[in-house]
Chains A and B, each alone.
Chain A
Amino acid sequence: MAVIDQSHIRNFCIVAHIDHGKSTLADRIIEHTGLLTSREMQAQVLDNMDLERERGITIKAQSVRTVYKARNGEEYIFNLIDTPGHVDFNYEVSRSLAACDGAILVVDAAQGIEAQTLANVYLALDNDLDVFPVINKIDLPSAEPQRVIDEIEDVIGLEAQDAPLISAKNGIGIEEVLEQIVEKIPAPKGDPAAPLKALIFDSLYDSYKGVIVFCRVMEGTVKKGTEILMMATGAKQEVVEVGTFGAGQFIPCDELSAGMVGYIMASIKNVKDTAVGDTVTDANRPCAEALPGYKKVQSMVYCGMYPADGAKYPDLRDALEKLKLNDASLHYEPETSIALGFGFRCGFLGLLHLEVIQERLEREYNLDLVTTAPGVVYKVFKTNGEMIELTNPSNLPDPAEIEHMEEPIVSAEIMVTSEFIGAIMELCQERRGRYLGMEYTTGGRALIRYELPLNEIIYDFFDALKSRSKGYASFDYDIKGYEVSKLVKLDILVNREEVDALSFIVHGESAYERGRKMCEKLKEEIPRHLFEIPIQAAVGGKVIARETVKAMRKDVLAKCYGGDITRKKKLLEKQKEGKKRMRQIGNVEIPQKAFMSVLKLDEN
């Protein structure tokens, strides 16, 4: 392919709230730019993990390069960089955005602006991107394009009167979007002769080729043979191949120069060496300074993961190792629990990230897992001046040694129709929220701002938000920092024995409520034994809630017809099998699912 000058390159991404049609629009763009025939198109080309398709979200950023012949007769290279769509991956989003020069904002013609729309637009504007809006789903009966246009102008302050009115699903208005990409998204700049400076926005581990780095070249040129240096991690390697992204495949090319988006292969063995946000430069002719914005990714949420069958511990270790190859934001280290045996304490970007990893372990690696309650990272300041970052409640030092503790706080934005403002504020107050302010927008909606402790939103906040707003509220957050907080460790005692895997850190004022709910839930899950079993919640040795599993008094088989002994035996075998799935704590058998059920302490 002939070298195309910078003025004919457009590097952009699509930002949208979940379900507003981002992936569908991406599909249409790829289809209309003709690199793929309709037959080759999978339903959604960009989301290539099954899990992503099922959940309708993008987890790992993907990119694609296509060619568009514009109405002016010129050919343009489009590099569409897909961004993850969830708050857990905010940092990855920001780096993907930094690789672009502009963004398309997709807004649902019926739903209008949502919290995530705002968060993503602000992120795009922070990265100095030129953003133009597109109104999608205009063929819906409930579509109100004009209201949404007004809302965009009013709330975000973006010119929206000439926004393309489209239906990505039905292929309406796509040409107009393509033309506006050419018109409104600026061409990249940068000097191909300057020292190499490329931004890593993603990477992928391939067992044959090693790590494949996805990058945007800002300055200079990279080609086969260039010795590259990752400026933050210090990793150094010689480039084996560079290329661009076809749909679902890598297309090698001679070089990547300033303004281009593509991949670099350099026999790198570990994704840890290719951190998202890092700058790639030429080891022999390094650039003066790295690109701004690099952050070391921190795990925000931790939980213990144990194989349901203790013998599968090595399998779990291998599976985590493999996942880690492709996911630098996953952390894990071995730990042991009296209740659950050998397992791992794992760190995640957020609860969604946790769920995704858990599901992948279960599906792709066929593992049966027991997961402990997720918690955040607390800072424990000890009286001896030491500070520890606590990821496992069991490691909390003796209260006498603790000077004070701090917990992470987020600033949250919640977008909701005005009738639910009261309900949502009540929820935020219950979750120890600090009210920051509220703005009314067009269409009878409001944007509510709160500061909330992260540990109050990692469990079921999103579900609660949805149920209290009949599904109308949307929510986004940003980690703000740490604050001093009155935190306690809540212990659960089953038949007077502490079950370490059920301990967790909670705010002093919520301890009673949480303890009570835990006990109620466990009472449902623990089967009856021949004796009575007290279930207690305790803080610092003081019992604050109690339930009792009554002694078993009846367990008999129903009448079976004829000599169907096989059926009787199956029932008994089921019972015996059930016992195998139990964890023995003292002389009490606790089903494995009891450990999981306490993760979902329902509202009512």
Chain B
Amino acid sequence: MKQKLELYFHIPFCERKCLYCDFLSAPATEQTKEQYMEALLTELVGSAKQYKEMVVETVFFGGGTPSTVDAKYIKEICLAIREHFFVSEDAEITIEINPGTVNRDKLKEYRSAGINRLSIGLQSALDEELKRLGRIHTWAEFLETYNTARELGFDNINVDLMSALPGQSAEDYERSLQKVLALTPSPEHISAYSLILEEGTPFYRMHKAGEISFPTEEEDRAMYHLTKEVLAEAGYQRYEISNYALPGKECRHNSGYWRRVNYVGYGIGAASLVQGQRFQNTEELGSYISNPLGEKQVIEQLTEEDCMEEFMFLGLRMITGISTGEFEQIFEIPVEEVFGEVIEKNIRDGLLERFWVEGEERIRLTETGLNVSNYVMAQFLLD
């Protein structure tokens, strides 16, 4: 059986930087975008041979705002993938889009390029909050995008929402959630993150200067519980710390990261994992454009220990946790021999639990453990 492969394309452009964003992304001229997209194509085609023994299961255009570049470039890449790679028949092909950067024509182009999943960055359904976040769109513009996409036949759509925004109350947040659930048909997938203040962002400075204030921890937790309850009631299953989906609509691409499937990242700063080796592209736009096939920076050749660590801390992000049998099958050593102490300690602390599914033993984070997942995961790093 051929090994599975995921492709990620980083589009580091946006119309305007949001106030909370610390991703590698910025506004750019049309000329820069054109040069970059050409470089992306060069990198893709140039590297294809290495992966001819693998089968592409998912493709993801992320950013930045991939919909900020002309759709023809996206289409070119999609065509090149089909031409140079072996693509699974039911491959999941996603593009992140922002309302305000797409119209009917663009969405049509995506559709004809074979893109079958949209991830829409909504973040909030309240215009006032959108403004506060520095977003470029309104709720009405989102609605138009969403409805157009549905009309064009997109039947797998994710909507991104954020909680714990400055000045946001639990009621405000619930209104956003309800407005999203009231969409017809409602989205197949909802990502619900709580905003994390990142150093170097305008929000960080504004917070330090006392210009904005964030919900208290109690409010933050209230929003978090609200997400779970409201979405569960609406039929969504939580399958990862911050991701919810209707049955069978989990994002295969992201799940691949947690399951340590091979993936190749194209574009600046993009990270890859291929057969136990992690590497990353340059983060410099200029040098990437001038030499897209330039030498990758190998971050690490993963050792057996690294792989075990990752198996645990990535696997635990998923609500179904990890399978102890799978661990033993991959690493040929029982998980207890490597992580027994940590597992037992965290079970005692009520942060991890063992459970059985169809006779298979699994370990997952408890409800409490999910709240402090970092604390638990950090303990799985070996010395």
Tell whether A pairs with B: yes
Q: Contact between A563 and B257 (Cβ–Cβ < 8 Å)?
A: yes
The segment from A36-44, A381-389, A569-577 that touches chain B is A569-577
Query: Is A311 an interface residue when CB atoms closer than 8 A count as contact?
Result: no
Which of B75-83, B266-274, B320-328 touches A? B266-274
B-contact 0/1 string along A551-587, CB 8 Å cutoff = 0111111110111111011011101100100000000
Query: In the bound complex, how far is the Cα of B217 from the Cα of A552, in angstroms?
Result: 10
Interface string of B1-14 (1 = CB under 8 A from A): 00000101010000
Interface string of B339-383 (1 = CB under 8 A from A): 000000000010100000000000000000011111101110100
Which residues of A are found within 8 Å of B224, using beta-carbon distances? Answer: 554
| A530: Cβ under 8 A from any B Cβ | yes
From B242, B314, B378, B381, contact of A565 by CB (8 A): B314
- Is A559 a contact of B242 with CB atoms below 8 Å? yes
Interface residue? B278 (CB, 8 A): yes
Query: A556 vs B263: C-alpha distance in the bound complex, in angstroms?
Result: 24
Q: In the complex the two chains form, is B271's CB within 8 Å of A565's CB? A: yes
Q: Decide: A558 near B265, CB < 8 A? Known: A563-B271, A564-B271.
A: no
Q: Is B221 an interface residue (CB 8 A)?
A: yes
B23 at interface by CB-CB < 8 Å: yes
A residues 209-246 with Cβ under 8 Å of B? none
In this complex, the member of A556, A559, A568 whose beta carbon has the largest number of chain B beta carbons within 10 angstroms is: A556
A568 → chain B, closest Cβ, in Å? 8
> Does B227 make an interface contact (CB < 8 A)?
no
| Nearest opposing residue in chain B for A529, CB measure | B375
In the complex, the answer to whether A561 meets B241 with C-beta atoms within 8 Å is no
Q: Do the beta carbons of A566 and B378 come within 8 Å of each other?
A: no
A562–B270 CB distance below 8 A: yes
Cα–Cα distance between A195 and B366 once the two chains are bound (Å): 88
How near does chain B come to A98, taking the closest CB pair, in angstroms?
A: 53
Which residues of chain A from 419 to 457 have any CB-CB distance to chain B below 8 Å in the complex?
A: none
Q: Given A566, A572, A573, which contacts B278 in the complex, CB threshold below 8 Å? A: A566
A564, B310: Cα distance in complex, Å: 12
Q: Which residue of A lies closest to B195 (CB)?
A: A558
In the bound complex, how far is the Cα of B377 from the Cα of A575, in angstroms?
A: 10
**B97, chain A: closest CB distance, angstroms:** 15
List of A residues within 8 angstroms of B270 by Cβ: 562
Q: CB-nearest residue of chain B relative to A530?
A: B349
B280 & A576 in contact (Cβ 8 Å cutoff): no
In the complex, per-residue mask of B231-268: 1 if CB is within 8 Å of any chain A CB, else 0: 00000000001100000000000000100000101000
Q: Do the beta carbons of B23 and A557 come within 8 Å of each other?
A: no
Q: Given the complex, which residues of A lie within 8 Å of B269, measured CB to CB? A: 564
Could you say which residues of chain A place their CB within 8 Å of the CB of B23? 561
Distance between B295 CB and nearest chain A CB, rounded to angstroms: 17
Q: Do most interface residues of chain B lie in helix, strand or loop, or is the interface mixed?
A: mixed
Q: Does B220 lie at the interface of the complex (its beta carbon under 8 Å from any beta carbon of A)?
A: yes
Interchain CB contact under 8 A, A571 and B374 = yes
Decide yes or no whether B27 CB sits under 8 A from chain A: no
Residues of B within 8 A of A565 (CB): 257, 271, 273, 278, 310, 314
Cβ–Cβ < 8 Å partners of B62 in chain A: 561-562
State which residues 47-95 of A face B: CB under 8 Å: none
What CA separation (Å) do A328 and B276 show in the bound complex?
59
User: Are B278 and A562 neighbours in the complex by a CB distance under 8 Å?
Assistant: no
Question: Looking across the interface, which residue of chain A has its beta carbon closest to that of B221?
Answer: A553
A552 contacts B372, C-beta separation under 8 Å? yes
B53 at the interface (CB under 8 A from A): no
- Which one of A556, A569, A576 contacts B371 once the chains associate, using CB atoms below 8 Å? A556
Q: A569 contacts which chain B residues (CB < 8 A)?
A: 309-310, 313, 381
Task: Give the residues in chain A near B374, CB-CB below 8 Å.
Answer: 555-557, 571-572, 575
- Inter-chain contacts of A571 with B (CB < 8 A): 374
| A residues less than 8 Å from B278 (CB atoms) | 565-566
Cα(A497)–Cα(B192), bound, Å: 41
Which of A530, A553, A559, A568 touches B217 (beta carbons < 8 Å)? Answer: A553
Is B381 a contact partner of A573 (Cβ separation < 8 A)? yes
Whether B381 pairs with A572 at a CB distance below 8 angstroms is yes
CA distance A558 to B351 in the complex (A): 20
B338 at the interface (CB under 8 A from A): no
Q: Which residues of A contact B263 (CB under 8 A)?
A: 563
Measured CB to CB, the nearest residue on chain B to A575 is: B378
Across the two chains, which residue of chain B brings its CB closest to A559? Answer: B193
Q: Give the residues in chain A near B217, CB-CB below 8 Å.
A: 550, 553-554
Residue of A nearest to B12 (CB): A561
- How far is A530 from B309 in the complex, measured between Cα atoms in Å? 23
Known A556-B373, A557-B374, A576-B379; judge A563-B8 contact (CB<8 A).
Answer: yes
A530-B349, A561-B10 given; A566·B372 CB < 8 A: no
Give the residue of A554, A559, A573, A579 whose beta carbon is less than 8 angstroms from that of B372: A554
A572 vs B62: C-alpha distance in the bound complex, in angstroms? 24
- Would A566 and B196 count as touching, CB distance under 8 A? no
Query: In the complex the two chains form, is A553's CB within 8 Å of B198's CB?
Result: no
Query: In the assembly, what is the distance between CA of A571 and CA of B257, in Å?
Result: 17
Q: Which of A269-301 contact B (CB under 8 A)?
A: none
For B152, the chain A residues whose CB sits under 8 A away are none
Closest to B375 in A: A555
Using CB atoms, name the residue of chain A closest to B370.
A556
Contacts of B370 in A (CB 8 A): 556
**In whole angstroms, what is the CA distance A562 to B119 when docked?**
14
Does B378 contact A576, Cβ atoms closer than 8 Å?
yes
Alpha-carbon separation in the docked complex, A563 to B281 (Å):
12
Chain B residue with the shortest CB-CB distance to A571: B374
Q: Is B212 an interface residue (CB 8 A)?
A: no
Closest to B264 in A: A563
CB atoms of A563 and B273 under 8 A apart = yes
Q: With a CB–CB cut-off of 8 A, which chain A residues contact B333?
A: none
Indicate whether B48 reaches chain A with its CB closer than 8 angstroms. no
**Is B299 part of the binding interface, using a Cβ–Cβ cutoff of 8 Å?**
yes
A332 CA to B306 CA in the complex, in Å? 45
Nearest CB of chain A from residue B135's CB, rounded to whole Å: 16
Known contacts A553-B221, A564-B271; A572 and B313 CB within 8 A of each other = yes
Please measure, in the bound complex, the distance between the C-alpha atom of A566 and the C-alpha atom of B270, giving whole angstroms.
11
| Most chain B CB neighbours (cut-off 10 Å) among A556, A562, A575 | A562
Chain A residues whose C-beta falls within 8 Å of the C-beta of B372 in the assembled complex: 530, 552-556
Q: How far is the CB of B35 from chain A (nearest CB, A)?
A: 21
Pairwise interchain contact B271-A566, C-beta atoms closer than 8 A: yes
Q: Is the CB of A554 within 8 A of B220?
A: yes
Tell me if B378 and A558 are in contact (CB < 8 A).
no
A555 touches B371 (CB 8 A): yes
In the assembled complex, the Cα of A568 lies from the Cα of B381 at a distance in Å of 12
B375 & A552 in contact (Cβ 8 Å cutoff): yes
Residues of the B chain whose Cβ atoms lie less than 8 Å from the Cβ of A530:
349, 351, 372, 375
Chain B residues 151 to 188 lying within 8 A of chain A, measured CB to CB, are: none
Which of chain B's residues has its CB closest to A574's CB?
A: B378
Cβ of A564 to closest chain B Cβ, rounded Å: 5
A562 adjacent to B313 (CB under 8 Å): no
Chain B residues whose C-beta falls within 8 Å of the C-beta of A557 in the assembled complex = 196, 241, 373-374
User: Which of chain A's residues have a CB closer than 8 A to the CB of B196?
Assistant: 557-559
Interface centre among B217, B280, B375 (most CB of A within 10 A): B375
A-B complex: 8 closest residue pairs judged by Cβ atoms = A558-B196, A575-B378, A555-B372, A555-B374, A572-B378, A576-B378, A564-B271, A555-B375
14 pairs, CB–CB < 8 Å, chain A vs chain B: A530-B349, A552-B372, A554-B224, A555-B371, A555-B375, A556-B241, A556-B371, A558-B196, A564-B271, A564-B280, A565-B271, A566-B280, A569-B313, A571-B374
Report which A residues bind B (CB closer than 8 A): 530, 550, 552-559, 561-566, 568-569, 571-573, 575-576, 579
Extra contacts, 4 of them, besides A530-B349, A555-B371 (Cβ < 8 A), are A555-B373, A557-B196, A564-B269, A576-B379
